Chains A and B, each alone.
Chain A
Amino acid sequence: MLEIEKLKVSVENKIILNDFSLKIKPGEIHAVMGKNGAGKSSLAQAIIGNSNYSINSGKIKFNGSLINDLEINERALLGIFLAFQYPIEIPGVNNTYLLRSALNAKLKSEGKDEIDSFDFLKLIKVLMDKMNISDEFIHRSVNEGFSGGEKKKNEVLQMLLLEPKLCILDETDSGLDVDALKIVSSGVNELRDSERSFLIITHYKRLLELIKPDFVHVIANGSIVRTGNATLADELDKKGFDWI
C-alpha cells in the first residue's frame, strides 16, 4: 500500500528525514517510536504532502503510484488520512460543515452523489455515539475551545467518517485519559480490516496494548534504526531509546 524509498525531507533547508525507507502492506499495523525530534511527525507530514516539508530525493508510492508531487487534498482523496498531533483550530467553521465537506469531497472523487443533510446527520450521529461524543460537539467551531481529549476524539471521528485506506495517527494517545484512550482505540480497532493499514506514531506502549501492531520501528536522526514486533515496544518501555 505505502512504499517509501530512500526519502530525504527538509524543512527550511534543515534535513529532517534522511535515507528513510518503509513498506506497509494492506492490513498491516506499523508503529513508529522514537525520541522527541527524531522525525516521527515529519514523516507523517511528508506522507500527507504538507507543503512545508520539501522532498529533496526519494519516492513515496501509494498503491503503486508515485505521489511525491500530489497536493495534500489529492493524497487525502486517495485514502491517506492523518489524525494530527495538534489538531488545528478554525474559528467560525463549525464541525458539521467540515465533516460534511470532507465526506462530500470523498464521495465526489468516487463519482458518487453528495450526501444530503438529513442522511449526513443520521450517519454522524451513529459515529458520535460510538465515540461517546455529545450532540453539541459537532455544532461547535472546529477544535476551538476543545480539550486535548476532545480534539483527539474529533480526529478519530473524522477518520471513522472518511474510512481512509491508510490511517496515520500522530501521537493520538497524548492528552487522553484512560477512558478516552479506550474509546479512541476501540474506534481505531473498528476500522481494522485486511485492506486498511495503520501507521501509529507514539511515545508510549499503552496505545499499542490496545491496538496491537505487526511491526514496531524506532526512528533516530531521520531514519529507521531498528524494526521488531510488538515486543520491541515493551523493551523500549523498560529500557528507553538510548540502548539502540
Chain B
Amino acid sequence: MGSPKLNSTIKSRELTHEAEIEEKLHSMGIPILSGHHIIFDKEKLIIDERLINKLDINHDSNNDVLRIAAHKNIEVINLNLFSINLHDSYLLPKVIIKCAPETSLCFQEIDLDKDNGIEISINKNIEFLLSSNSKVHHIYISKLNKNSNIQKNLTCNVADNATYEYSSIQRLLSHTKIDSAINLNGENAKCNFAEAVQLDQKANFSHTLKISHHASSTISNQRHNLIANEQSSGKFHGTIFAEKNIYNIEADQLSKNLLLSDDANIKSFPILEIYTDSIKCSHGSSVGMINEDQLAYLMARGIEKKLAINMIIEGLLNDILPHENNLLLRSLLN
C-alpha cells in the first residue's frame, strides 16, 4: 500500500489585474516590485493576467505541479512568486520553470509571514530547466517568524552556454532547511550562487548545496555568508563536484560567517569532490566574531559602537549581493 498522495494547499486559482495584486501587496506592507506577480495566497493561486500572453502557465492540480515556461526570444521578464498569508501546514505545488533557448528570466521568490503566533510548516519544491543560451536570475527573499518551519528543495539543470544566478537574502527566526542541487550539464554553463542569511533568537538554519560540473568549460561560484545571533544555529554544506573526463573547469567557493553571541553556533563545511585534473578551484571558510580592527576604524570616525557593529553586519550581507538593487531586498537588508 503506497503512501497517501499529499495534495498542495492550493484549492483554486484566478486571473487578476495588476492593480488589484499591487493593492493586495501594498496592504501587507510589501514594496511594489517591478514585473509580474504570481501569488500563493492562503488556498488561492493568483496570477497576473498580463503573464498569459508572455508565458505558458499551467497549474496541474492532478499532479500538483505549477509549470511555467518562457518562450524563445522573449525579452527579460520579471516574475515575482509570493507566498503570503501563510497558515498551518502549507504545502505548495511543485513549481517547474522552463526557459527556452535565448530567454532571460528574472524570478523573484518571496516568503513573508506575519508574526501572529500561528505555527506554519511550509514545503516547497522548485525546479529550473535552462535550455541553451538562456539565463535565469533567481532571487530568493525570506523573512519568517519563529513559528515557521520551512523545507525547500531547489533543483536546477543548466544546458550549454546557459547561466543560472541565485541571490538570496534571508532574515529568519525560524527553522529552515534547504537542499539545492545545481547541475551544469552543458559546455560553458555557469552558476553564480550567493546567499546571505541572518539568524536571530533560536533560529535554526541548514543549507546543503551541491554544484555539479558535468561538462567541460563550466564555471561555478558559491558565496555564502551566515550571521548568527543570540541562541541561533546555522549550518552550511557546500560541495563542488566535478566528474572525470571533463576539462577546463573553474569553481570557487567561499563562506564567511559571523557569530554575534557566545550562545550562537555556526558550522561550515566547504567540500570538494573533484575527479578531473583540468580544474581551477578554490574553497575557503571562516567563522569569527566582529572584526575589532573594522570596529575601531568606524568608531574612530565618531560612529557609536552599536551602529558600527550594524554597519559591519550589513556589510557582510551586502558584500554577497553587491549588484542588487532590488527594493524589497534592500528594505530587508536595512
Residues of A within 8 A of B (CB): 48, 50-52, 71-73, 76-77, 81-82, 84, 87-88, 90-94, 97-98, 101-102, 105-106, 109, 141, 158, 162
Q: Quick check: A90 and B294 within 8 Å, CB to CB?
A: yes
Instruction: Give the one of B301, B302, B305 with max A CB within 10 A.
Output: B302
Surface stretch bound by A, among B34-42, B280-288, B312-320: B312-320
B296 at the interface (CB under 8 A from A): yes
23 contacts between A and B (CB under 8 A): A52-B292, A73-B303, A76-B300, A90-B297, A90-B298, A90-B312, A91-B315, A92-B314, A92-B315, A92-B316, A97-B311, A98-B301, A101-B298, A101-B301, A101-B303, A102-B301, A102-B302, A102-B303, A105-B301, A105-B307, A106-B302, A141-B319, A162-B301
Distance of B251 from chain A, by nearest CB (Å): 22
A76: which B residues are within 8 A, CB to CB?
Answer: 299-302
Whole-angstrom distance between the alpha carbons of A15 and B298 in the complex?
A: 26
Instruction: Give the one of B315, B316, B318, B320 with max A CB within 10 A.
Output: B315
Whole-angstrom distance between the alpha carbons of A183 and B300 in the complex?
A: 23
A48: which B residues are within 8 A, CB to CB?
Answer: 300
Pick the contact of A90: B315, B320, B322 (CB < 8 A): B315
B304 at the interface (CB under 8 A from A): yes
Given contacts A73-B308, A102-B302, A141-B319, 19 further A-B contacts (CB under 8 A): A50-B296, A71-B299, A71-B305, A72-B296, A73-B304, A73-B305, A76-B299, A77-B302, A88-B293, A90-B294, A90-B298, A92-B314, A92-B320, A92-B322, A97-B311, A102-B301, A105-B302, A141-B318, A162-B302
A87: which B residues are within 8 A, CB to CB?
Answer: 297
Q: Quick check: B297 and A158 within 8 Å, CB to CB?
A: no
Pick the contact of A101: B311, B317, B319 (CB < 8 A): B311
B315: which A residues are within 8 A, CB to CB?
Answer: 90-93, 141
Whole-angstrom distance between the alpha carbons of A101 and B309 in the complex?
A: 13
B301: which A residues are within 8 A, CB to CB?
Answer: 73, 76, 98, 101-102, 105, 158, 162
Residues of B within 8 A of A (CB): 292-294, 296-305, 307-308, 311-312, 314-320, 322
Pick the contact of B311: A71, A73, A90 (CB < 8 A): A90
* Chain B at the A interface: SS class: helix
B320: which A residues are within 8 A, CB to CB?
Answer: 92
Residue of B with least CB distance to A89: B294
Whole-angstrom distance between the alpha carbons of A88 and B298 in the complex?
A: 9
A162: which B residues are within 8 A, CB to CB?
Answer: 301-302
B308: which A residues are within 8 A, CB to CB?
Answer: 73
Distance of A4 from chain B, by nearest CB (Å): 18
A102: which B residues are within 8 A, CB to CB?
Answer: 301-303
Whole-angstrom distance between the alpha carbons of A76 and B316 in the complex?
A: 25
Q: Quick check: A93 and B312 within 8 Å, CB to CB?
A: yes
Distance of B163 from chain A, by nearest CB (Å): 24
Whole-angstrom distance between the alpha carbons of A105 and B297 in the complex?
A: 14
Whole-angstrom distance between the alpha carbons of A76 and B304 in the complex?
A: 10
Q: A93-B311, A98-B298 are in contact. Are A105 and B318 (CB under 8 A)?
A: no
Q: Quick check: A73 and B299 within 8 Å, CB to CB?
A: yes
Q: Quick check: B311 and A72 within 8 Å, CB to CB?
A: no
B307: which A residues are within 8 A, CB to CB?
Answer: 101, 105
Q: Quick check: B292 and A105 within 8 Å, CB to CB?
A: no
A101: which B residues are within 8 A, CB to CB?
Answer: 298, 301, 303, 307, 311
B296: which A residues are within 8 A, CB to CB?
Answer: 50-52, 72, 88
Residue of A with least CB distance to B307: A101
Whole-angstrom distance between the alpha carbons of A84 and B300 in the complex?
A: 10
Distance of A145 from chain B, by nearest CB (Å): 11
A81: which B residues are within 8 A, CB to CB?
Answer: 300
Whole-angstrom distance between the alpha carbons of A84 and B308 in the complex?
A: 17
Residue of B with least CB distance to A91: B319
Distance of B325 from chain A, by nearest CB (Å): 12
Distance of A119 from chain B, by nearest CB (Å): 19
Distance of B48 from chain A, by nearest CB (Å): 33
Distance of A236 from chain B, by nearest CB (Å): 29
Residue of A with least CB distance to B321: A92
Residue of A with least CB distance to B196: A92
Whole-angstrom distance between the alpha carbons of A101 and B304 in the complex?
A: 10
Whole-angstrom distance between the alpha carbons of A50 and B311 in the complex?
A: 19
